[in-house]
Structure 1
Amino acid sequence: MKHHIVVILTLFCAGNLTAQNSIESILRAVEQNNKELQANEQLTRSKKLEAATGNTLPDPSVSYERKWGKPASVGKTAELSVSQSFDFPSVYIYKNQLSNLKSNLFDQQGKIVRQQILLNAKAVCIDLVSLFQQQRLLDLRLANAQKLSALYQKRLANGDANILETNKIDLELYNIKTQMRLLETERNNKLKELQVMNGNMPIEIELTDYSPVELPENFETYSREALAADPELRSRENELEVSRKNISLNKSLWLPKFEIGYIREMEPTDKYNGISFGVSIPLFENRNKIKQAKALNGYTQMQIENTRLQNQSALQQLYDQAHSLKIAMQEYNKLLQSQKTLSLLNKALENGQLSMIEYFIEANQVYESMQNYLQLENQYQQIIAQMFRYKL
């Protein structure tokens, strides 16, 4: 009695190794072809170049003066001046360190975008698996209904059945075919969505089974690993390092700036060569910049704590949902194995032990239980995908 249901459930759960390879192959293709990811890579490169732009010497200054005397006998004089200004050496050290820290920050921000795109793609893949399995369930229902339809057409011809029973089967056939058409439309929409994610390149791999996943036994161990690899938290921490280095930079900007140059004066009878040296004292330009940098540092520290608490809470909620779904799936599994199988229901109907109404009530319970199991498994897979998004 249990064997028929077990076989059906096995069909839904088979081929996990192939499924894992299929979904991973699609995710790698999306990572390579996704237009948003490609645009984000260019944006990250642009930000890195922009961060490195300010760590150079100012442009040198060249000036030339030409003077005419009056009366003309006084003659003409000229002056050529070339000068170069520069900050205190520590400024360039801090700017270089700040550029490297910003580069790491932009990489982490790029990882956040990449992770979200791949998670969205995986969610579509999981839905496609669910739609395929629902299609198999409808195929099973259709084959069973067609068998009953053929049987009752013979009975109706022999006078052993009435038209109401035949109409009931025909209505079941119509409902199944309608659901199959709607399911096919939804599947095509999901494939188009996935194709757009793949840079508008079609996906040739058909997804039929889920990847094997296990709920972590210990939440604390899992959450530590997930938070340690969380790109959002890493990005916040990089922002904190940038803000700290920005404080050091703004402190060094209070040190004097220097200017050194070469001067050449040319008079009618004499020529002079010399050097110039100047110092700029920053009394007004950097006012309140250190206070602003410290305030930003404090804000970033609070943001890190807030992000950590929010992400920890989100992981706990996902873990609890997955745990509840896993229990529900196990209970449905037991229920399906204890219910009457379709083969037994068909035999009882053929032998007259069940009326058509009783048969459809019992059969619909079996189908509904199978459908509920598929929905639970889809929700479970979606939540597990979110829990392990840091591994994408």
Structure 2
Amino acid sequence: MKSIRTIALIVASTVVLHASGESFDSLVDRMIALNPGLRSEAYAYAAQRESLRSAAMLPDPEIEGGYMWSSGEPGNKTDITVSQSMEWPGVYSAMRREARLQSKATNLSEQATIISARENARILLAEGVYLNKCRQVMVNRMECIDSLLDIATKGALRNEITLLDVEKLKLERLEVLARQTELNTQATQCISAIGAFIGSIENAKDIYNAIEDYPAEMLHPLAIYSDKLDETPEVEQSRILAEASRARSEAERRRSLPSLTAGYHFAREEGTPFHGFVAGLSIPVFSTRGKSEAARLESMAAEARAEQQAIEQRLSLESIHASAMQFKTQYESYHKVLTDSPTPRLLLRALEGGQISMMVYLIESASHNDAILRMLEIQYRYQQAMAQLARYNPGN
């Protein structure tokens, strides 16, 4: 039969997770390396870059040939023409500039995809840490209830144990068991989410079992994160796309100038060869009507989107940072009170000495246990906010 001192050691034990030797960030790196979606995106972005290389190219040369015959004089005739058409030269410089900017925007989009994937991986692992800590708290609670049931049924306490006390302990045990079942289900769902992220449920189990604790990170002042705001892929990409749109507008404006065609012409008639050149001029009277103005308006829209993106990112950063500060303050307040708190030991001593009833003990100890779970939830919310702030972190 366990003693009250043994129970006190159980309820006062610190939540400690299994140490695997693999850091939180290394687990994130593993998840990123295994993510099939990122591999697919990498191929898609590579295809986009390859397609951009073909932009601003001259049209393919044209070869035309003909053979004409006659029953009389002067006889049959052969014609061959090789020609090359082109836009006004200034169009290609604008198109090449647009292609370079679009390629850079594609690279930034790929970076943003990876950063978002890392954020999701960090949140999934943080959820695993949170669930494991909660499960450990409930394990300690269950051991305490089981020990009290053992003591109560054998009459080892100084105060009188009623049948109602025993029934209350049994009900409390059922509630703890239900909470454990709920947490185990959530842990299974977390493993499934990790498995969907990396494309393997077996590797997901290994990663989940390797989780130790949250990463040790410092929450910096808002100004430090704001300094990196313009360097985020989303903001920089929107700015680059606005520049690309301006280059496209310039290309459309230059397309209002004539396009050119030049080539070589060969003919043979009655055995006599003829050599010469051909030249042509295409005046865009109808084909470009309205396109230049449409491109100019699209350029203005892209600039407005870039400004809006910067505003939205700043507001999002301020909101996330404010939430992180709030959760950090709340967690520190809970941690200061609950760490090495004498409440569990004092309650058990009072119960052992007959100063409080079993009912009072269960109510007060459950309240203390709920406070611990609340502290762990706040810590988890803080880690979620830190995962979102990671893209602005000076250390990244």
TM-score normalized by the length of structure 1: 0.89
Distance in 2, Cα, partners of 1:65 & 1:208: 79
Distance in 2, Cα, partners of 1:29 & 1:338: 36
Aligned with residue 218 of structure 2, among 214, 223, 242: 214
1:83 and 1:259 in contact (8 A); partners too: yes
**AA aligned opposite 1:44:** Y
Partner of 1:153: 153
2:23 and 2:212 in contact (8 A); partners too: no
> Which moved further from structure 2: 53-62 or 100-109?
53-62
2:49 and 2:103 in contact (8 A); partners too: yes
User: How far did residue 8 of structure 1 move?
Assistant: 4.7
> Which moved further from structure 2: 382-391 or 239-248?
382-391
Partner of 2:362: 360
User: How far did residue 133 of structure 1 move?
Assistant: 0.4
Partner of 2:55: 54
Aligned with residue 299 of structure 1, among 298, 301, 304: 301
Q: What are the superposed Cα offsets for residues 244-291 of structure 1, whole Å, 9 maximum, x if unpaired?
A: 211222233233322222222212242212222222233332222222
User: How far did residue 337 of structure 1 move?
Assistant: 5.2
User: How far did residue 41 of structure 1 move?
Assistant: 1.3
**AA aligned opposite 1:353:** Q
Q: Where do 1:241-390 residues align within 5 Å?
A: 241-336=243-338, 340-390=342-392
Partner of 2:227: 224
Identity of aligned residues (%): 23
Partner of 2:97: 97
CA spacing shift, 1:130–1:338, aligned 2, 3 Å: closer
Deviation >4 Å, runs of 4+ = 3-9, 12-15, 156-160, 337-340
1:257 and 1:280 in contact (8 A); partners too: yes
1:156 and 1:162 in contact (8 A); partners too: no
1:31 and 1:118 in contact (8 A); partners too: yes
1:30 and 1:199 in contact (8 A); partners too: no
Partner of 1:88: 88
> Which moved further from structure 2: 325-334 or 379-388?
325-334
**AA aligned opposite 1:114:** I
1:215 and 1:384 in contact (8 A); partners too: yes
Gaps of 5+ in 2: 1-7
**AA aligned opposite 1:230:** T
CA spacing shift, 1:13–1:317, aligned 2, 3 Å: farther
User: How far did residue 326 of structure 1 move?
Assistant: 1.8
Distance in 1, Cα, partners of 2:144 & 2:276: 104
SS of residue in 1 equivalent to 2:280: strand
Q: Where do 1:47-196 residues align within 5 Å?
A: 47-71=48-72, 74-155=74-155, 161-196=161-196
Distance in 1, Cα, partners of 2:198 & 2:107: 22
Distance in 2, Cα, partners of 1:13 & 1:32: 25
The answer on 1:199 being equivalent to 2:203 is no
SS of residue in 1 equivalent to 2:329: helix
Distance in 1, Cα, partners of 2:38 & 2:297: 33
CA spacing shift, 1:269–1:379, aligned 2, 3 Å: closer
Gaps of 5+ in 1: none
User: How far did residue 370 of structure 1 move?
Assistant: 0.6
Distance in 1, Cα, partners of 2:285 & 2:254: 13
Partner of 1:23: 24
CA spacing shift, 1:86–1:175, aligned 2, 3 Å: same
Q: How many residues align?
A: 383
Q: CA RMSD in A?
A: 2.7
TM-score normalized by the length of structure 2: 0.88
2:242 and 2:299 in contact (8 A); partners too: yes
**AA aligned opposite 1:36:** G
Distance in 2, Cα, partners of 1:159 & 1:367: 24
The answer on 1:42 being equivalent to 2:46 is no
